[in-house]
Amino acid sequence: MQNFDITNLIQAKSDQLNADDLISAPRRIKVTGTSKGNAENPVVINYEGDCGRPFKPCLTVRRIIAHAWGVMTGEWVGKEMLLYCDPTVVYVGKEVGGIRISAISNIEKRIVVSLAKTRGKKVQHTIEVLTIEQKPPYDAAKFDSVFDAMAKKINDGSMTHEQVINKCESTGSLTDEQKKRVRDIGKDSDIEIDEEESESVSDFFNDTEKAS
């Protein structure tokens, strides 16, 4: 019997984060940048590990973010939010589901805001405080020693770039440079691991899986 992660196999085929992507579990994202979109999606939010599929918040979510962090999008960078799929979101008169925020960082206390759902009807949104966890730095020497193993996992398709990063960060925080090294790993790289290294590499991945 094989036991493997199907996260990447159930994502909607789209150029943006979708509510369907959050059905199995909420997702915590850290904003890395923003840009102007089009008339339908005027705000585009990039986040760590978006893999070219940014978050394009709807009007309700944009209002919540603006209420929490202000209207200047440059102030959002580095902050975090917890997104989830709300199956009751209505579009063109039908419940189709949509992305909502359950918690957000960099606020002093819980936010409660009433926003229009339909003409003449408002819905109350409660946004909790999202605490940013402070983890110790990931050991630099250990990172270098298992880097080839990370690359092999990515190149053989058994783990994605973000899954490797998440495994590492279950025990310690990676620097931006370390994350970039992982994300720069190419699918066509030829990575080989010596037999002497294989045992320690196996222990590394088993340890991080237990910690996650």
Nearest to 11 by CA among 23, 26, 28: 23
The CA angle 63-102-130, to the nearest 5 degrees, is 100
Task: Give the CA distances from residue 171 to residues 33, 48, 209, in Å, rounded to whole numbers and listed in that order.
Answer: 26, 18, 10
pLDDT at 191: 47
Whether the per-residue pLDDT at 212 is higher than 50: the answer is no
Q: pLDDT for 1-47, tens place per residue?
A: 667 665 555 455 578 988 888 887 888 999 999 999 999 999 999 99
pLDDT at 48: 85
Is the same domain home to 74 and 120?
yes
In a domain, 24, yes or no: yes
pLDDT at 193: 47
Domain containing residue 168? 140-211
In a domain, 191, yes or no: yes
- Which residues lie closer than 8 Å to 13 by C-beta, 6 or more apart? none
- Tell me which of 90, 106, 129 is where a domain ends: 129
**Percentage, residues of the chain above pLDDT 70:** 79
Task: Average the pLDDT over 71-77 and give the result.
Answer: 95
In a domain, 102, yes or no: yes
Beta bridge partners of 127: 111
Beta bridge partners of 201: none
In a domain, 1, yes or no: no
pLDDT at 207: 52
- Tell me which of 88, 108, 129 is where a domain ends: 129
Distance from C-alpha of 206 to C-alpha of 164, rounded to nearest angstrom: 12
**Percentage, residues of the chain above pLDDT 90:** 40
pTM over 0.75: no
Distance from C-alpha of 178 to C-alpha of 94, rounded to nearest angstrom: 45
Is the same domain home to 173 and 87?
no
- Tell me which of 96, 129, 162 is where a domain ends: 129
pLDDT at 34: 94
pLDDT at 1: 61
Whether the per-residue pLDDT at 71 is higher than 60: the answer is yes
pLDDT at 8: 58
Q: pLDDT for 80-133, tens place per residue?
A: 999 999 988 877 667 778 999 999 999 999 999 988 776 778 889 999 999 987
Q: Give the mean pLDDT of the chain.
A: 81
